[in-house]
Amino acid sequence: MKRLGILTGGGDCPGLNPVIRGVVRKAYLEGYEVLGIRNGWKGIIDGDIAPLDLRSVSGILPKGGTILGTSRTNPYKKEGAVQKVKDNFKKFELDALIAVGGEDTLGVANKLVKEGLKVVGVPKTIDNDLSETDYTFGFDTAVNIVTECIDRLHTTAESHNRIMVVEVMGRHAGWIAVHGGIAGGADVILIPEVPINIEEVCSIIKKRHAQGKNFSIVVVAEGAKLDENSEVLQEEKLDDFGHVRLGGIGQVLGEFIEKKTGFETRVTVLGHIQRGGSPTAFDRVLGTRFGVKAVELVKQGKFGYMVSLKGVKIEAVPIEKAVGTLKTVDMDFYDIAKVFFG
């Protein structure tokens, strides 16, 4: 019996458990045994691995997060860790590994493939910024959460005649901000791809007030920049993948808006609420399809490939291409959002 390993790395998101369930169910039908690796790459470094059977994945479809746990561990940043990955690959007699994650997790997978390990990738990120796939699971759920929160903020903003600034996730790509902003009827949407012009933002808000609209909703991605300055950070410390902790652009923007317009402004930071809770039907189906396809790639021996959504079909693309460049917001799409500014 061949043995597959599966791990989930990076930030958690709704849809991970449907992927795990899809992998285990398909593997069972194909005669494979599945081992669950806990806490991402950390688990295979430490040998924290246990069998996954049909009972293990029963009832997990609607659950958010991941039953395997996750971490931002990078084996290439820890002395001797890559060798431990290779050693445990042999120790646990893994014939292949399915790595579920975003740019960082799959970047490690791509390096390990080049060192001879048999790895298949599954794309996961609520930011939807992985290339070579139309959508990643977790994104749709995050957008639905943002939309609901904006809907709720509309009523309180209108009641108090306030400006509401809503800070959403999006490190280098503003997909959540654009989709959530359009769906929620935001009056201004600010993304990392386009430096913030504070004068233009305030002009839009003043114009709305002049037309009798006494409230406005401004959506801003956490990675947005003020006039090409660096991102607003919670702290300077870097994680294992060289990332800083973003956060605070909403507060900075809110203070600017209140000072320049004179209108009372409040800031809401949605933060990790966007990652939590039960996945939408779309993400449950997409995660399930990704998991099933990943096992098929293993069976076909297509290592170094990642499952991908192209239109309505699930295809295979090289992991190397997927992690080569970030997928940022298409400016034609952003132009559609701008039609509704103000």
Q: For residues 116 and 136, give the distance between their C-alpha atoms in angstroms, rounded to a whole number.
A: 27
Q: For residues 74 and 246, give the distance between their C-alpha atoms in angstroms, rounded to a whole number.
A: 20
Q: Is the dihedral of CA 138, 34, 58, 315 positive or negative?
A: positive
- 123: closest CA among 103, 97, 96? 103
Structure tokens, 116: 């001879």
Tell me which residue has tokens 């959508």: 135
Q: For residues 33 and 51, give the distance between their C-alpha atoms in angstroms, rounded to a whole number.
A: 8
> Given phi > 0 = left and psi -120 to 50 = alpha, else beta, which region is 268?
beta
> Catalytic amino acids?
127
**Angle at 44 (CA atoms; ends 238, 123), nearest 5 degrees:** 65
